[in-house]
Amino acid sequence: MRAAAGAGYACFHACVHRTNTMSLTRKARAKALQGGATYEEIGLSIDSCLLCGACEAACPENIGLADLNIYQRQELNRSRTSYPDWYPDEQVVTNIHGRGVNAATLFLAGASIADNQEVCSAILKQIKGNGRTALAPDDGQDIARFMEAGLPLKTERVDRFLSSLRQAAHS
């Protein structure tokens, strides 16, 4: 049985970050590594992945591509000599909007929305649900950035974030 034409490019066609540049795909990274490239040499390609999983769902070989990309980011971080502008450092601080909240549902707004009180209020009004939806006291953006970069997370930070969510779960 013969594979369909273009079947080897399913990940490329599924990628939401596709730029008509094969060099940014998982397949291109694999070929580059097989050819002896270092993680730093293909760093732009590794960093460009959004970790959305679209390529993984389209992969005809059922390869865990998101996990593979996170692994490659971890390896890249061990050898990096320069860092992109978006790269988090120890000084990354999450948006903390106050202490405990008495709400059944929390809205994790992120900086771009939470910093604009008018927009935040309008969204909360639209998603009020049972009237007990509130802006989360901790948006966890620092955790997301560290995960996206393939960096290790401090257990205390994750525990503090989860604790803020548990308060809502028990409201």
Which is nearest to 136 in space by CA: 103, 92, 160?
103
* 14-41 pLDDT, tens digit each: 777 666 677 777 778 888 999 999 998 9
State in Å, rounded, how far the first CA of the chain is from the last one: 58
Which residue shows structure tokens 């080897």? 8
CA–CA separation, 37 and 34 (whole Å): 7
Say what the pLDDT of residue 1 is: 34
CA–CA separation, 77 and 147 (whole Å): 12
Residue 133, SS3 per DSSP: strand
Q: Per DSSP, what are the bridge partners of residue 138?
A: 96
Other C-beta atoms closer than 10 Å to the C-beta of 42 total: 20
Strand-pair category, 105-107 with 133-135: parallel
Say what the pLDDT of residue 60 is: 83
Type of residue numbered 108: L
User: Distances in Å between the alpha carbon of 95 and those of 59, 87, 90, 145?
Assistant: 36, 17, 15, 13
Query: In the predicted model, is pLDDT for residue 74 greater than 80?
Result: yes
Residues 80 and 151: beta-carbon distance below 8 Å: no
* 87-137 pLDDT, tens digit each: 776 555 555 555 556 677 788 887 778 778 888 888 888 887 656 777 887
Helices 155-169/141-148 angle, 10° precision: 130
Domain ranges of the chain: 7-79, 105-169
Burial class of residue 87 (count of CB atoms within 10 Å of its CB; 0-12, 13-18, 19+): middle
Handedness of CA 103, 109, 115, 119 (dihedral sign): negative
